[in-house]
Structures are given as structure tokens and as C-alpha cells.
Structure 1
Amino acid sequence: MRKVTIWFILFVWTSTMFAQKRILMENLGVSQDKDITPIVLEALQQADFKDAILVFPKGTYHFYPERAIGKYHAVTNHDNSYKYFAFPLIGCTNIEIDGGGSDFIFHGVMTPFLVENSMGIKLKNFSIDWKEPFYLQAEVLESNALEQYVDIAVNPMTKTEFEGNRLGFVTNGLSLPFLGESMVFDPKTNAVAYNAQSYLLNGVASRKTFDQSLGGNNYRIKARFAKTPAPAGLIYVFKGPNRSNRLAPAIHLTNSSNLHLDKLNIYHAGGMGVIAEKSENIHLNEVNVKLREGSGRMVSTTADATHFCNCKGELVIENCLFENMLDDASNIHGTYVKISELVDKHTIRAGVNHIQQFDYNFASSGDKVEFITNETLLPIAPATVKSFKKINDHLFELSFVEELPATLKVNDAVDNVTWYPTTIFRNNVVRNNRARSILISIRNKTVIENNTFSSMMTSILFEGDLNHWYESGAVDDVLIRNNIFYDCVYGGGKGSVIWINPRMKQTLKDQPYEKNIVIEDNEFRTFDNSILSALSVDGLIFRNNKIIESGTYPKLWPGLPVIEVRDGLNTLIQNNSFEGKEKARIVIDENSSRSLKIDKKQKGFVIDKK
């Protein structure tokens, strides 16, 4: 009885302590025909940035950058710049934004929600969209493979402009001098087109187009396409040049904790839908990144739907729809920073190496880290951070409690192992997007279950690297179960539906990079061969899975095996079935064969040990 009384007193005290004041936005003069950005700031100030619920009456509300709070702001995996915020949730405690089912429409280059140095934040019941899209969309009218040109009809939702003989466009106050990065969609499927990578116009080629007006919104684009220009009827989307097309993510969560996003529709953003870094305990429920019905747009966000860099605690992503993004549905990872100097026995200088990670706060005093070998990406030794001091936006000095390992050298790396979450990704649908469904590079327990995947590239990718994005790290406990995979890897690039592909310079046969990946009770209904390709895994289990050849498209990579394992230890392949025109090949290299356990009676398979 005494315990019950104590818990009741604690409950009453906690409820009183965190009681939230309801602020009715209609009482502050919100209106559907004016910029309400300053009214949001007024409401937050009235609440002293804590213990309040901002309640909107259902409606359509507009936000502009001219009167928004602004500052120079770094966002990982984006383009850093002076940014403006409609909802500046900075230093807030126990704040809830309840949109009441409203549409929030944004104008110009701005970030709708910044949650920074805050705790106990809840965003619910609203949608995010922009009046103008951050890309140009055009239908192919005619295609000439011999002369390498397409005639296009530009959708009038975006304005075009010429610079010499080069077509560019203007949107949200940005003037983009050339078309930039591209993707091709099929209006019949509302998805990325089959074999789309053959039609792309990217990199240097996108800067060297020779364009001309054909009258009205019609233009001829003459350039060097990846292989051939897209055929008539398909849709090109161009999002402008790299390093200037990720300026306006919808929601940025940074250095914050206990964050809940519920029943949100993100119809568009000039960057990612939700980008989180160095934050703890994040829950996304029914956060949909999707097309607005009837909008005529082919693209939702111009980058990932969601992205989590060096977060910790519990990360839950459930009951969400992610469609038509120009990048992944979710990428969950840490960060490798490369060592540039060994200063003394306890101190190094290191830095971030990708420009879209500049100004990143890698570590704090007390964080646990591991030193990583450049060549193998394997750990050398653990250490504890004593101090972290920034020198500039890409270089910093790290001091450690312990002495540096004797074998540590310049170009080795550091991985902050304090900042990894346990992750649940369940009951989600990913479809119609460029790139992958989900990337996993985290050492804590991860469960991926009851999802439906259909992306133009790999559905689930494991890929630590120390040469491009510098995304760590090796996984140690992953369960992938009860998912359905439909026609994945249809964009033309080489890959597998599930691809375990760490990018190390060399593998050590007795020390795999990844560990303990279980793939069970899934259904793969896809047209091409490669279902699973695994490099450098100890404890890979692939069992009770059903693979059915769909015949939806011609095979792009018919020579690839259905399952391939290289440089693995303790692999189990058991009780799977395959239905297709020919037997499905399982290819196991010599090193992996030594500790392999495989069911030789699995339906539809033939085993090829090399």
C-alpha cells in the first residue's frame, strides 16, 4: 500500500510539474490569408518556450522567411547556409505543436521546424508543403538517341530561364543556372522508370547541355546522357546542381531528446523530410512523406524521407508511408572522422571529410569512441574523450583519457560509439523513390519487420565507408523479418535486394566487419536475380524466406546469383524456397564455405561453392 501511495504522489507531482498551458492560436490572430510566422514566435514567447501546447484551428496557413527567426545554421547531409525557421523550437522544454489537421504552406528557402537543444517536443496533426517545388518537372515529347537530345514540355509550376545556351530554372527565390541532378519517372506507375539510370543527365554532363526554346514551355535539351535519352512519355525531374539543392529540410532535430512526431504529412521539402543528429529517443508514428493527391508533382522530398546521424536511445519509425523521394526512405548511421595528425600521446587532430558534414559536432567530454583501421575498418582500441575543440568547420582536436594505441596512424579513423540508437523500423511502406529503402550502419539492436519495400535500388543496404560519406559503423544485431519486397533494384544499377557491402580496402578472412544479421520469414516478389549479396559477415542467417520470380520486367542482371556470400563466417542458409523459370544459384566462396551450414533440400535452389 505504501508503494502505491508513493507512486501516486510521484505521478501527481510529475503531472503538475509538466502541466502544459494550452495556447489557442486563433486567439493570437492566425489567419489563412496572411503570413503567420511572427505569430508562432509570439506564442512561444508567451509560453516562455516551455510547458505549452500550441493549438491551431484546422485551416491552411502560410509562412514566409522575411519575418522569420534566422541564423547561420549547419545541417548534416545538407548545404550549410543562413537559414530561416518558421517554428524555432530552440531551448524548449515540453512543447507540443498540434496542427489540428491543418496545411502549413511554406514560401521561399526556409526550414519549417528547427528543434534544437530541446526536450519533450511533440509535433502532430499537420502537413508541410511548399507553394513552389524545389525542382523542374518536364514530360518527354520526343527522343532522339542518335543525335542525343530530348524535346520536353516543362510543367509551368516552375519558371525557366536561359544563361547563354543553357537552360536553368528559378524557384523559391533561387536562380539555378543549369538543370543539375536528374531522375526519370514513369507516369503510368507514378514511380521511378524501369532502367532509369540509362536516361540520366548528371555531373559534368548536366553543366554542358546545349538547349534551345521550341516555343511556349517546350525546349530541346541536347547533351551526353548516361546511355540514351528517355523515350517519349516519361518524366524528367531536375533538382539543380549538387551542393545547392539541399537547403530546406522540413524538420531538423539536433541536440535534443524525447521527440515525438505523430500524424504528419510531408508533401515536399527542398532537402530531407526529417533530419536528426545528436538527438536521443525519437519516435515517428504515421509520418508520411508522400505526394499530395491531385498536385501533378512527381517528387515529395528532394532528398531522404528521414535520416538519423549519431542519435542514441530508442529510435522507432512505424506506420509510415515513404514515397517518391529523390533519395532513401531512411538512413541510420554514425560518423567516421579521419585522423590528420597525432599531436601527442593523448591528442589527435581529425576532421569531417564530406562537405555536407562540415561544422558537425562529433563528440563531447565523456563519450566513448573506437579507433578504426583505415584499410579494414576494424577497431584498434577503445578510448574515452577528455576534450573536443573545434579549430574550424571541418577540423577539430580530440584529447583522450587513455594514451593513443601504438599502432594508430594518420588516415585511421575515430567512431563515436556512445551515439548509436537501438532501432525499430516496422509497419512502413516504401515505394516509387530514387535510391534505397533503408540503410543501416549502427551497432545496437535493430529490428526491421512487417514492412513493404519497392525501391529502384537496394531495399536494405549495409555499407560502412571511409572514402565518400564516411558513414559508420558495423552492425552487431539485426533482425529482418516478415517483410515483403516487390520488384526492387529496377533502376538499372547493379545491386541486390539486401546488400551487405562494407567498403573496406581489404577484408580479413577471420575478422568480418558485420555481425549477427538474421533474415527470416520474408517474401521476395521481384523480377531480377540478386536477392542477397553478403560480404564480410560473421553470423549471417537466411532462413524461411520465400522468393517468387515476378516477371514484371526483363532481367537487368541475369548472370548474378540469387544468393552470394563472400568472406563470411558461420553462415546458415535454411528452409528457403524459390519459384521461377530456372533454378536459383547460391554462390559461396571458399572462405565462407568452411563454416557454412546449408540446407541442401531447399526448393528451387542449386549450390555453387567456389
Structure 2
Amino acid sequence: MEKTDTSFMETLENELAGLHIRRPAPGRSVSVADFGAKPDGNSCNYKAFARALVCCRKEKLETLLVPRGVYRFKECGGNAHLDLDGMENFLLDGQGSEFIFETCKPYLSVCGAHRIMIRDLVLDWNWEKAPLASAGIVTEVAADGSYIECTFPACKTIPDKMHFTIVGPFDPHRYTPGCKNGMEFRPYKNEYVKDSGDEETDARMHELIRELSGVFKPVQERVDANTMRFYTADPDFTKQHFHRGDCYNFRHYEYSILTIPIRDTTDCTLENITIYSSPGSGFVGNGDIHGLHFKGCKVTVRPGTARSISTATDCLHICNSQGNFIIEDCEFGFAGDDCINIHDNSCMGIEITGSHSLIAQRAVKESVLFEPGFPVELRNPDLSPTGYVSRLTGADYNPHSRTCMLTFEDPLPQSLSPGTVLWNRRFSTQNYIIRGCRFTNNRARGILLQGSNGLVENNVFENIQGAAIQIETGCESRWSEGHGVSGLLIRNNIIRHCDLNAWQMAVLYMGVYLPGDRTEEPVFRNVVIEKNTFIDCPRQAMFLSSCRNVIVRDNVIINALQLPLEEACYGSSTMEKPVYGETYRGVIQFEKASCILEENNTVLSMLQH
């Protein structure tokens, strides 16, 4: 058996120790109060802040001070409420102020900026005007299964018709996302499933979705001030899966905005920024960004409220970047999706049109960012290399068909598969540190790691609906993320009561999602998982697949394997069969793996069976 090699660890740690994000140099300052901003909790401050930022640009001022108070933004006349695009050597100092928004535009935009810092701010959404989610209790299930009724205790009154995109299980005792045997579903059609027109590959990709939809009919009836009757599509399903006392979180928003989009920016620091709520994703980095530092930031629900969600989707999402970022001493939770997602994008499916050209399927510009001059690598459907990388000379998108005509400098290889995968090598979201953070009470995953050269240490993961740590790469009809992972150190973390909804087979999961099966190609390489504590695992502690040179050592695992591994109780609905028809076994499982080491791990149970 081949020996594992840990020599990469020292190189990785030395490289990451050199990560440094430059901060703006001090200089001249101005107060936003000088431009008419009023922290009276009533005035709209959009125009006052816009005037202040125009002055900072014109006079090249280094600091904009915000006297502490509550500032409301009731309108937005531009692309964002606060436009920090193009700023250089600039500090926005909130001094503990709160900004309240009610328009579906980004709260702050940072595009094409350099050496910029935003600190000491609280950002929130106006729930009085438009709540982002409503927690409801099933109070009645029709005897014939034709409807259910839900009461919303936190609402004095509800509208005659409620709009929502997804409904998830909610723990009524803890008032947190997810619960044992909880069922998540999209009440109506799943609008995020996009077909390519190729029936065979579309059907195979649909198998990966593992998400219920079409549970409700588009008919609602308000029966009293805060109770709604929802008519259901399948009476037998309703009688079997809905019960009085079940608690659900009805989410009214999902991908409505990017709260703080950061694009094409270098050396950006966000310090002590709290996002209490947003109708979209929180911190979002994309494009030619290099050097991000998140220090002491929070995404969570506002204390003193009965809110059931913070950001409608991810707390922090970084993709298609140039890497180099630090996330430390942060707290993320109550989001509608992952706490952190790190990745580059890809697309799957091609049609050859010439010796140097092809049509890429499922290729959306905002996702893949193919442009002339960018290097693109072609991978086989199992993600093994074809050996072909070439620069683009043309990229012509068709938004309607979700395709892109690509022309390459070099001749294309012969006999490319229709399922070929395309990786945009212009981007490399790697070189990152996640340390000293808390990930708690969250729907979906704690952290989704799909980038190389990472260090994840001294964090706490607790009460996460899906996996605490998920390392993956793959392609399906809703999204295609990741270019594999090489170089990852996970150590000294505490993982307690995660994958509580049993989405995956393990609380630390490594694997691919591809039509057909897992791949023998080791897309995950050089990974060390050591000195972590896993407590209260519904099923396995770790499932590690499609990998090479992986070391798992000196971990403690307490109370694993609480649910049967073979039953059809996987996926967000907790009704799916094991993925790919696999057989699961043991507390730690390797699958399609080579050059592995598992040693000195302690497994114990405090539970009597």
C-alpha cells in the first residue's frame, strides 16, 4: 500500500502564514452629517450618503465618518444604496451605526476598489414593511389530505395570500432551522432547475437534485388573522408526511440581492460588520478579487426579535476569484443557505461545431465568466484530464438557451465526449484561512469548501441542518461548482449536532456530484483532518471519496451512527435513497480512495441502545 505524504503541510502553512491584506493609510476625513444625513430613524439617507461619497471621490478623501445612530434608506436611485465602487485607500467608518434598508438593491457595493476598509456597522432589513420569512405550525391536516392549515404565532395578521419560495423544517423548541426527520420542500415548481434540451443528460442530472417540489397547489385561503390554509397536490402524501405540531419556516425571499457584492477589488477589509437580515446573500466576492479579510463579522438574527432567518441565502460566498482571503473571529448562522461557500464555477455538456469551436451547454455568463483571452481546460465527464487547455478567442452567449459559443486558439481534441466539463482557469479561488469562527443554527451546510490551499482551524460548528464541512466538486442542472481541492488542513475544530436533518451520510463529507456515479479520478488531494472533536453524528462522522493522499488522525468521535445507514432517509426531504445506490459502513468511510491513512482516532458512545 502506498504511503501517505505530509510534506505538503509545511509548504501550505508557510504560504498561508504569509497572507497579508493591506489596509488603507490614514488621512483626511469628512462626516456624512455634513451632507445632511440624519440618524433620526425616519429620514431617507440615500441622497445624503451619495453626496458624501461623491465628495470623497472628488477630493480624494481617505475616510468617511458616520456619527453613531440609526440611518434608514427608503429608496435607492443607483445600483446600490452605498456605492463604494472605484474607491482607493478609503475607510468607511460606521462607528457602531445601524443602516436599515427596504429596497431590493445591494446595501453596499465594492467594485474596482483597492485598499478599502469598511468597519463597525450593523446592516438590517425593514421587516415591518416586508418580512423575509415566517415560522409556522401545522394546526390541522384535512382528514382527506386535501389541505393543511398553518398558524404563524409571530404574526398578528398575515396577508390574504402569502408568497414563498421554499419551506424548511424548524425546531419549535429551539426555534432554529432543521429538526430530526424534518422535511424540506419547494411548495410549487422548482424554478432553479434549468434543462439543456438534451433529454438523456437532463434526466441524469435531475437525479442529483434530491429536492421535493410541487407539494402545494397554487390555492391558499386565510382562515383567521394568522392562519392560512394550503391546498395540497397529493392527498396521500399529505396524510403521510404532515402532522399537527410540525413546525416549518416559510421563506418569502431567496436570491433577491447581493447584500455586499465585492468585485474586481484588491485588499478589502470588512471588520465588525453585522448583517441581521437581507433578502439575498450576505458578503459576496466575485471576479478579479484578490485579498479579502473578514474580521469579527456576524450574520445572525437580531436579538429581541422572533425572526427565523438572517440572510435569505449564503452568509458569505466567494467564487471565480484570485483568492487570498482570511475569515477569522466571525459568527454565521440562521441563513437560508450555507454559512460559507468557496468555489470556482464550471459547466457540463458540449456540441462540437468546428475544429476550434464548440457550444458549451448550461453556460450562464454571470456564472462561468468565459471571455476572450481566458484559458479554459476541458475535462472528461468523470473529471479526469483530457490534457487540453487553450485560450479563448471568442465567447458568444445565448441567454435564452443558456449556451455559449466558444472559439479556441488551439485545435480541439478528437472524440470529445458530449458530457465534457469546462473549467475557466482564469480564476483560482484558493489560499484561504478560516479560523476562530462560530457556525451555528443554520440551514444547509456550515462551510462548503471547493477551493485549494486552505486552513480550517479552531472553529465551532453546532446545530447545522446539513454537513458541518462539505468538500465537493460537480455538475448538475442547478449549479456546477468546484475545480477539485488540493491542499487542505482541517484541525482543532469542534463539530457538535450537525447534519441534524441527515442531508448527507456524514457531518464531514467529501465527494463529487456527477450524473451517473462517483469518479475514480482523485479530484481531492493532499488533505489532513486531525485533532477535531465530532459529537452527536446522526450517521457517519466522515465520508471521504474520489481522493488521494488523505490523512485522518487523532480525532475524537462521540455518539455516531444513530440512524440506520441503509434506509431511504437522505436528502433535504429526508426521503431519498443513498446516493448512487451506495452501501455505507462504519464511522469513517473511504470510497474510491487511494494512498490514505486513518490512525489514532477515538470512537466512543455515551448512548445506550
TM-score calculated relative to the size of structure 1:
0.80
Match of 2:553 among 543, 549, 552: 543
Q: 1:506 Cα deviation (Å)?
A: 6.0
Q: 1:372 to 1:99 in 2, by over 3 A?
A: same
Separation in 2, partners of 1:58, 1:230: 48
Match of 1:135 among 132, 136, 140: 132
Q: In structure 2, what residue type is equivalent to 1:189?
A: R
Q: Is the Cα–Cα contact under 8 Å of residues 156 and 225 in structure 2 kept in the other structure?
A: no
Pick 1 or 2: higher relative contact order, CA cutoff 8 A, min separation 6.
2
Counterpart for residue 336 of structure 2? 326
Q: 1:384 to 1:104 in 2, by over 3 A?
A: same
Q: 1:95 to 1:492 in 2, by over 3 A?
A: same
Q: 1:19 Cα deviation (Å)?
A: 5.8
Counterpart for residue 184 of structure 1? 169
- Say whether 1:460 aligns with 2:490: no
| Structure 2: runs of 5+ lacking an equivalent | 1-21, 190-213, 568-583
Separation in 1, partners of 2:411, 2:373: 15
Q: 1:135 to 1:380 in 2, by over 3 A?
A: same
| Structure 1: runs of 5+ lacking an equivalent | 1-13, 71-84, 163-167, 170-175, 585-610
CA offsets per residue over residues 397-437 of structure 1, 9 Å max, x none? 44444332334344412212341221111111111111111
Q: Is the Cα–Cα contact under 8 Å of residues 339 and 412 in structure 1 kept in the other structure?
A: yes
- Say whether 1:272 aligns with 2:278: no
- Say whether 1:414 aligns with 2:422: yes
CA offsets per residue over residues 41-61 of structure 1, 9 Å max, x none? 111211226553211011000
Separation in 2, partners of 1:492, 1:209: 29
Structure 2 residue matching 1:43: 3-state secondary structure: helix
Match of 2:389 among 383, 390, 397: 383
Q: 1:90 Cα deviation (Å)?
A: 2.3
Q: Is the Cα–Cα contact under 8 Å of residues 345 and 404 in structure 1 kept in the other structure?
A: yes
Structure 2 residue matching 1:46: 3-state secondary structure: helix
Q: 1:184 to 1:409 in 2, by over 3 A?
A: closer
Q: How many residues align?
A: 531
Separation in 1, partners of 2:395, 2:83: 27
Q: 1:332 Cα deviation (Å)?
A: 0.7
Q: Is the Cα–Cα contact under 8 Å of residues 352 and 358 in structure 1 kept in the other structure?
A: no
Q: Is the Cα–Cα contact under 8 Å of residues 520 and 546 in structure 2 kept in the other structure?
A: no
Indicate the larger mover: 284-293 or 385-394.
Answer: 385-394
Separation in 1, partners of 2:488, 2:143: 48
- Say whether 1:88 aligns with 2:83: yes
Q: In structure 2, what residue type is equivalent to 1:578?
A: V
Match of 1:151 among 142, 149, 152: 149
Match of 1:28 among 19, 35, 49: 35
RMSD across aligned positions (CA): 3.0
- Say whether 1:573 aligns with 2:586: no
Separation in 1, partners of 2:371, 2:313: 29
Counterpart for residue 563 of structure 1? 588
Q: After superposition, where does 1:455-534 map in structure 2 within 5 Å? A: 455-468=464-477, 469-505=479-515, 511-534=521-544
Indicate the larger mover: 282-291 or 213-222.
Answer: 213-222
> Percent sequence identity over matched residues?
23
Q: 1:97 Cα deviation (Å)?
A: 1.5
CA offsets per residue over residues 63-104 of structure 1, 9 Å max, x none? 123x4213xxxxxxxxxxxxxx10122233223211110111
Q: 1:360 to 1:220 in 2, by over 3 A?
A: closer
Q: 1:388 Cα deviation (Å)?
A: 4.5
Q: In structure 2, what residue type is equivalent to 1:192?
A: P
Q: Is the Cα–Cα contact under 8 Å of residues 347 and 362 in structure 2 kept in the other structure?
A: yes
Q: 1:209 to 1:555 in 2, by over 3 A?
A: farther
Q: Is the Cα–Cα contact under 8 Å of residues 376 and 392 in structure 2 kept in the other structure?
A: no
Q: Is the Cα–Cα contact under 8 Å of residues 275 and 306 in structure 1 kept in the other structure?
A: yes
Q: In structure 1, what residue type is equivalent to 2:149?
A: D
- Say whether 1:99 aligns with 2:94: yes
TM-score calculated relative to the size of structure 2:
0.80
Q: 1:507 Cα deviation (Å)?
A: 6.6
Q: After superposition, where does 1:126-275 map in structure 2 within 5 Å? A: 126-132=121-127, 133-140=130-137, 142-144=139-141, 147-148=144-145, 149-154=147-152, 160-162=158-160, 168-169=161-162, 176=163, 179-195=164-180, 197-198=182-183, 200=185, 202-204=187-189, 205-208=214-217, 210-223=219-232, 224=234, 228-229=241-242, 231-232=244-245, 235-240=247-252, 245-275=254-284
Q: In structure 1, what residue type is equivalent to 2:532?
A: N
Indicate the larger mover: 198-207 or 86-95.
Answer: 198-207
Q: 1:392 to 1:504 in 2, by over 3 A?
A: closer
Structure 2 residue matching 1:39: 3-state secondary structure: helix
Structure 1 residue matching 2:474: 3-state secondary structure: coil
Q: Is the Cα–Cα contact under 8 Å of residues 459 and 493 in structure 2 kept in the other structure?
A: yes
Q: In structure 1, what residue type is equivalent to 2:543?
A: S
Q: 1:400 to 1:237 in 2, by over 3 A?
A: same
Q: 1:509 to 1:312 in 2, by over 3 A?
A: closer
Q: 1:342 Cα deviation (Å)?
A: 3.3
Separation in 2, partners of 1:307, 1:503: 20
Q: Is the Cα–Cα contact under 8 Å of residues 191 and 324 in structure 1 kept in the other structure?
A: yes
Q: In structure 1, what residue type is equivalent to 2:595?
A: N
Q: 1:158 Cα deviation (Å)?
A: 8.9
Q: Is the Cα–Cα contact under 8 Å of residues 505 and 539 in structure 2 kept in the other structure?
A: no
Counterpart for residue 404 of structure 2? 396
Q: Is the Cα–Cα contact under 8 Å of residues 316 and 424 in structure 1 kept in the other structure?
A: yes
Match of 1:288 among 298, 303, 325: 298
- Say whether 1:118 aligns with 2:138: no
Q: After superposition, where does 1:416-435 map in structure 2 within 5 Å? A: 416-420=424-428, 421-435=430-444
Q: 1:288 Cα deviation (Å)?
A: 0.6
Match of 1:303 among 309, 313, 319: 313
Counterpart for residue 61 of structure 1? 71
